[in-house]
Amino acid sequence: MGDGEFQLPGTRAGARMGRRLSRRELLSRGARLSAGAGAAWLLAACSNGNSSGSNSGSAAPSGSGSSAANLSGTAVLTTYPGWMGKNEISSFEDANPGASVKMTGSSSGATGSEVLFFKQNAGQYDFSLEDQSGVGQLIAGGILQEPDWSKIPNISNVDDPFRKAYSHGTPTDYGKVGIGFRSDIVKEGITSWADVWNLAPKYSGQIIFLNLDRDCMGSALKYLGLSGNTKDPAQIERCKQALIDIKPHLQAVTGTGVSRGLVKGTAAIAMDWDYDIALAKEQEPRIEWVLPEEGVVAYLEGYVLIKGGQHLDVATAFMDWNVKPDQYADFVNTTGTAYVSSKATPLIEKSISKNPILFPSPEVLAKVEYENYLGEATALWNKAWDEFKSA
C-alpha cells in the first residue's frame, strides 16, 4: 500500500533532501524520487530479468569537455534530488548549446542494488554520484567507466588528498559521522563513542542512531577501536554485539530527520552526519557537535561515469564544469556540504567555509577514516546488520 511513494531509509538521500529545503519540498521530492525508482526497477525487472553479461561496456568517452561545439545530447545523472548548484546545470547548458544534464533519482544510492539497476538499464545513465564504497561496487560489477582525464583539466582545482582518495572520478563532497548532543540535557558532556555507550542507560530512549549499515556499524567499530572498513568476521561480530547491547536504549534507528529530535528536545544524543548537525545548530544553539576521540568514519562522494552511457562526453564535460571554482561554489552554497576544493573558498559563503563542524582542524581530520568498498565482506556486514535490526 503506497510502497512506491516511500523513500527507503538507510540511504543518505532523506537527510540530503532536507538540506535547505522546506519540509513540503522534502516530502514531495522524496515521493517523486522513490516512485520513479520503483517504476524503473519494475520496468527493468520485466524487460531484463537476467543481468548476466548485460553490459557490454563501451569505448572511453569521446568529445571534448571544453569544446562546446562538439557536445550535444542529454547526459543522465543519478544523484540525490536537489543535490546540485542552483544555477549549475543552466549555466552549463548556456555555455554548451545542444548539451544538457538531466538529474534523476538512483535506485537507492551507493548500494549493491545500484549495480543491478545500472546493468538492467544499460545505456540509460551516463554518470552517477557515488561514495567510495559505491565506486568499488561499480568497479567490481564491471560498469565503471574510467574518465579521459585530459578532458577534465579542472580536476587540478580539487585538493590533493581528496583527489588521491577518489581516483576514479571527480570528488564533490564528504561528510563525517559523529555525535550531536543537547548540552542542556547531557550535563556530563560527550567526547567519545565510549561516552555514548556508557551514558546510554542514563539517557535510555533519548538516543538516535543512523539507519545506514556503513555509518552505524562503522561508528560502533570506532567505539571498539577498530577499523571502520574491517573485513574480519570476529571484529564484525563484536561490532554487532556492541550495537545489540545499546539497542534497548535507542529511541530510533533512522536515516531521515535524525537531528529533529535534538532540535525539539525529545532526543539527547544522536549519531549523525556533520552537515545535519550544522543545520540543526542553526535552529537550536544548545546542540553540540563532537568528533569522537576514537575517530570517525566518513563518506567521500563524487561523480563517476557509467560504462555504456550514450552521452559520456557531455557527462565528462559536466564533471569538469562542476569542479570549476565558480560552479563548485554554487554547488556548495546550495547544498551546504563540506567541500573538497579550497580554491573555491573565496566564493563560498562564510557560514559554510568558517563552520568548525564542517571544517575541523587537520589534527582532527587525521582521525577520519573513509568508508571503502568491502568486497566479499559485504555479505558479513549485511548479515550482522540484519541481526542487529532483528534483535
Where do contacts with other proteins occur on this chain (CB under 8 A)? 1-3, 5-10, 27, 30-31, 37, 41-42, 45-46, 49-53, 107-108, 111-116, 119, 140-142, 205, 211, 247, 250-255, 264-266, 375-376, 378-379, 382, 386-387, 389-390
| DSSP category for residue 249 | G
CB of 49 vs other proteins, minimal distance in Å: 6
Residue number, 19 or 247, with CB nearest to other proteins: 247
CB 307 within 8 A of CB 123: no
Q: What are phi and psi of 52, to 5 degrees?
A: -60, 120
> In whole angstroms, what is the distance from residue 165 CA to residue 145 CA?
17
Residue number, 111 or 337, with CB nearest to other proteins: 111
Residue number, 219 or 335, with CB nearest to other proteins: 219
CB 64 within 8 A of CB 70: yes
Residue number, 363 or 376, with CB nearest to other proteins: 376
CB of 70 vs other proteins, minimal distance in Å: 34
CB of 230 vs other proteins, minimal distance in Å: 18
Residue number, 179 or 258, with CB nearest to other proteins: 258
Supply 351's cell numbers: 557560514
Residue number, 94 or 184, with CB nearest to other proteins: 184
Q: What are phi and psi of 299, to 5 degrees?
A: -100, 150
All residues at 6 or more sequence positions from 282 whose CB lies less than 8 Å from its CB, including other chains: none
Residue number, 1 or 59, with CB nearest to other proteins: 1
CB of 104 vs other proteins, minimal distance in Å: 16
CB of 261 vs other proteins, minimal distance in Å: 8
**Nearest in space to 247 (alpha carbons), one of 278, 280, 272, 271:** 271
CB of 8 vs other proteins, minimal distance in Å: 5
Max intra-chain CA distance, the chain: 65
CB of 95 vs other proteins, minimal distance in Å: 37
> In whole angstroms, what is the distance from residue 190 CA to residue 291 CA?
10
All residues at 6 or more sequence positions from 75 whose CB lies less than 8 Å from its CB, including other chains: 99, 100, 101, 102, 126, 127, 309, 311, 312, 314, 315, 318
